[in-house]
Structure 1
Amino acid sequence: MMQFLRRRHAAAVLGMFAAFICLSPARAAAPDVVYFAGIAFTGDAAASEKAFPHLSRVLDTNGSSQVNASIRDQLKTHPAAFSVSFDQLGSIKDASHSVALALAVDRETTSVEHIGDTYKVRLEIAAQLLFFDFKEKQVLGGFPLILDYVDVRGAPPSEDDVLAGFRGMALGTSAHALPTEFVAMLAKASVPSAATRHLRVASVTLADKTRQYLSTTAPTIDADVLRTQIAQEFGKYLAANQKLAILPYSSNKAIGGSMAARFVEGEAYQLKIPEADYEISLDVAGFKKVDQGHNNVNSIFIYGSFVDATIREPLSNHVYFQQRIRQGATKEVPVTQTSVDDWAASYESLLLLFNNFTQAATNPASPWVKSALPDSPDAKAQLSSLAELIKSCR
């Protein structure tokens, strides 16, 4: 049995691993101190058991305490780039003492593929350093990181095996365990500045073709949980690639409550999302799997994602961008592999779409645009308009 625990760039091509994202947002006057609020799940707190079937068991009261204690202990020898407080309370009324930080867990993924006489098990945790300014009542931004765990074994993994894998990723002390990666990111991160204008993913819908694809490739996926994850993923890529402060998709009681508790006025404060100046709507139009051919060694497939994206100003209902975006990603499958996780590959292509689009949003000349957007004057004009909008939000 072979085991690997790795950190991975959120936009890696299928089957490839790289370093995690290092974000360098524009700086404003740095706060005197940032108040650590611990680890919590993003999304709807009531759906955490569906969204995080294994991590919700690992990060029970004791598990969360272990992560928090490990982070605190490691910061003693590997300090952050700014002052982090565990024991004192801040003040919502004081701008230099109003910023909270959480280790926000966005997603867990389990994938099992049968290759010859072995089983490849891949576990993934997507998380972020999430900063929130309670004086300005807005999310300042996040620094995303992804952990991969790969286990090659001679038999299918049991539920206990999968749970043990996630436990090691979340509570372990290895170089690439979640607390260690979080502390390493803190050494590089700076506190994002507050935006003067706010962008937010306001809605995510799944088209009929997407729901049909899910029913055959991933029937256990909860549609509501998936919509929340997609909104969060897009927001993270936009924040990281454009160095923006993005308002959250939805209010989260777990994160909001733990953050508010770090301030003297926290008990009376409810985490609320300010009105966005610009709203983003995403309709996941569908997925495709195309067989590109075979040889004596591999079969080659292309997984495609299609998203209808709209960015508008809600007050005037002016639309800055409204186009269908497409993305393909290639996956080579050994001829000895008898099962393929089509949903994992499809979701990877969707993340690649988000990464490429949010990079090209301020670079209309990007070669990627030619393959991803319609080749029309209208699409080009809208992308240029979107670029100006994003620049105005920095």
Structure 2
Amino acid sequence: MFVLAVLFAIVMPRPCAAASAATPENIYFAGVAYSADAADVAKEFPHLSKVLDSQVNASLSALVRERLQGQASAPKLIFDQLGSIKDASHSTALALAIDGEVTSIIKIGDLYKTRLEISAQLLFFDFKEKQVLGAFPIILDYIDTGAQPPDGAKLDALYRAMLLGSGGRGSLADEFVKTLAGATVPAPSSRHLRVTSVDFEPKAIAYLQQSAPNADVATVSRQVAREFGKYLSTNQNLAILPFASSQALGGSMAARFVEGDAYQLKIPEADYGITIKVSGFKKLEQGRTATSIGYIYGAFVDLAVTEPLSGRTYFAQQIRQGANQTVPVTQSSTEDWANAYDTLRLLFNNFTMAISDPRSGWVKTSMPDSSNAKNQMTSLQGLVQSCR
């Protein structure tokens, strides 16, 4: 088994010189990994750890290889050999690191709605220096309904289909290749961004516990961090550092490869840290007709971007987002947490797109209408550009 432990080293931030290195000539595909301590894999990935055996791993790698043949714009990956740690120009590797598995089954009327999610990242690292270079997060969703809830065997089969594709659906391999086609390989000199903390304020926790009593706040916080990272990376074509729930010195993120040798990788300190405080959610009835009821869901977040070394704050604002949802009057219950969470994701998507357009209409309606907020968005735009 290939075990890759990724440790947060006690490393001072480097001088913030923008990346200028050219794309490495050779990038070696290092395989598939779980971002968890080896002892915790079965607990954190109850279905994927059963599905992703050596045969499926080989099929997933082969599918990635096949899909890449039609992607001339993607960085070239070498599958059949590893580079030399004696040659820095042949030491950049790329792993498909799986860091989340989420299964949700809820009953709505007479039907059961199943929602599955796999979160992963394109994890670039230098195996000569044993250091993470940056990551591009990806998230794959599956939603289905049925008269009966799926059993364990059915869920295993659905997760396998998400990895390899089935019935015309996209696969994790497809998402990997699509993300890689638009990715820029991070250089060691790149400035680094990372989500450093996600906190739920009391009002947000109360809403979560009421609408999803079985949800774990810590687990949802990790999901929120990955969602924000995905949108920031996708909308700004930006590699970021992996999120960890503990940022104290000695905190760690481990990754376990399915096959191969073992490495110890350092993760450099983030040049800029992103803190997210989910302050609350709202649900309001907007209107009703003889056949339907309209609701508006609101999500509220305090978001800050700071430079730990200097203490400088580049961005610190309250952000809000609303989203409409219409349901039939015959529907006895609504998916309040799913709708609120989708509204939060919409907020992240709109905010990370607005970084490229600080004067957009969305900024005017979703953030305080002040010169300070506009100036901070412009400052954040420049910061993100310097991290590419």
TM range (shorter): 0.7 to 0.9
Q: Is the 8 A contact 1:34 1:98 kept in 2?
A: yes
Match among 48, 51, 55 for residue 48 of structure 2: 55
- Please point out which of 197, 202, 211 is paired with 2:191: 197
Q: How many Å apart are 1:274 and its aligned residue?
A: 0.7
Post-superposition shift, 1:232?
2.2
Give the whole-Å Cα distance in 2 for the aligned partners of 1:369 and 1:382.
11
**How many angstroms does 1:326 deviate by?**
1.1
CA contact (8 A) 1:210 1:285 kept: yes
Paired position in structure 1 for 2:351: 357
- Equivalent position amino acid for 1:54 in 2: H
Q: Secondary structure at the match of 1:287?
A: strand
- Is residue 376 from structure 1 mapped to residue 370 from structure 2 by the alignment? yes
Is there any run of 5+ residues in structure 1 with no aligned partner, and where? 1-25
Equivalence map 1:192-341=2 (5 Å): 192-194=185-187, 196-250=190-244, 251-255=252-256, 267=262, 269-341=263-335
Aligned to 2:22: 29
Query: What is the aligned residue count?
Result: 358
Structure 2 match to 1:125: 118
2:65 to 64, 75, 100: 75
Distance (Å, rounded) in 2 between the aligned partners of 1:65 and 1:36: 17
Tell me by how many angstroms 1:390 deviates.
1.8
Q: Residues 90-105 of structure 1 correspond to what in structure 2 (within 5 A)?
A: 90-105=83-98
Shift of the 106–119 alpha-carbon distance from structure 1 to 2, 3 Å rule, reads same
Q: SS in structure 1 opposite 2:118?
A: strand
- The offset of 1:163, in angstroms, is 3.7
Contact map agreement 1:35 1:84 (CA 8 A) in 2: yes
Quickly say closer, same or farther: Cα 1:73–1:328, change in 2 above 3 A: closer
8 Å CA contact 2:138, 2:175 repeated in 1: no
Structure 1 residues 374 and 193, CA gap change in structure 2 (3 angstroms): same
Provide the secondary structure at the position in 1 that maps to 2:148. coil
Unaligned runs of at least 5 residues, structure 2: 1-18, 245-251
Q: How big is the shift at 1:128?
A: 3.8
Compute the displacement of 1:118 (Å): 3.9
**In the TM superposition, what is the alpha-carbon distance from 1:74 to its structure 2 partner?**
6.0
- CA deviation string 1:360-385 (max 9, x = no partner): 12321111111211112221222222
Displacement of 1:308: 0.9
Cα distance change on mapping 1:86 and 1:174 into 2, 3 Å: farther
Give the letter aligned to residue 358 of structure 2.
P
Give 1:96's aligned amino acid: S
Q: Contact 2:34–2:97 (CA<8 Å) still a contact in 1?
A: yes
**% identical aligned pairs:** 48
Aligned to 2:336: 342
- The structural deviation recorded for 1:85 is 2.9
1:146 matched to 2:143: no
Offset of 1:277 from its aligned partner? 1.6
Residues 36 and 86, structure 1, Cα contact 8 Å, conserved in 2 = yes
Judged with a 3 Å threshold, the aligned counterparts in structure 2 of structure 1 residues 183 and 176 are, in CA distance, closer, same or farther, namely farther
The separation in 2 between residues aligned to 1:360 and 1:192, in whole angstroms, is: 24
Following superposition, the deviation at residue 177 of structure 1 comes to 4.6
Question: What is aligned with 2:248?
Answer: none
Distance 1:85 1:248 in 2: 24
Amino acid across the alignment from 1:252: M
Contact 1:27 1:192 in 2 (8 A): no
Q: Give the conservation status (yes or no) of the 8 Å contact 1:34–1:82.
A: yes
Q: Which has the higher contact order (CA 8 A, sep 6+)?
A: 2
Note the alpha carbon deviations across 1:116-168, whole angstroms, 9 max, x for none: 64444343334343333445623333163524242x32334444443432233
The residue number in structure 1 matching 2:379 is: 385
Name the CA distance, whole Å, in 1 between partners of 2:220 and 2:381: 28
**Residue in 2 that maps onto 1:170:** 163
Whether the 8 Å CA contact 2:106–2:114 is kept in 1: the answer is yes
2:81 paired residue among 75, 78, 88: 88
SS at 2:222 equivalent: helix
Aligned residue for 2:264, secondary structure, equals coil
Specify whether residues 54 and 77 from structure 1 end up closer, same or farther in structure 2 by C-alpha distance, changes over 3 A only: closer
Change (3 A) 1:43 1:284: farther
TM-score (norm 1): 0.79
Give, as a single letter, the amino acid of the residue that structure 1 aligns with 2:380. Answer: L
Whether the 8 Å CA contact 1:45–1:252 is kept in 2: the answer is no
Cα deviation per residue 1:81-122 (whole Å; 9 max; x = unaligned)?
343233312234533322222223344444445556444434
What CA distance in whole angstroms lies between the structure 1 residues aligned with 2:383 and 2:143? 39
Tell me, in whole angstroms, the C-alpha distance in 2 between the residues paired with 1:131 and 1:369.
33
- Which deviations, in whole Å up to 9, do the C-alpha atoms of 1:295-350 show, x marking residues without a partner? 23322222221111111111221111111111112222223333332222222111
> How big is the alpha-carbon RMSD for the aligned residues of Structure 1 and Structure 2?
3.1
Deviation at 1:41, TM superposition (A): 3.4
Q: Give the 3-state SS of the residue equivalent to 2:255 in structure 1.
A: helix
Deviation, structure 1 residue 36: 2.0
| Aligned mates of 1:28, 1:242 — CA distance in 2 | 19
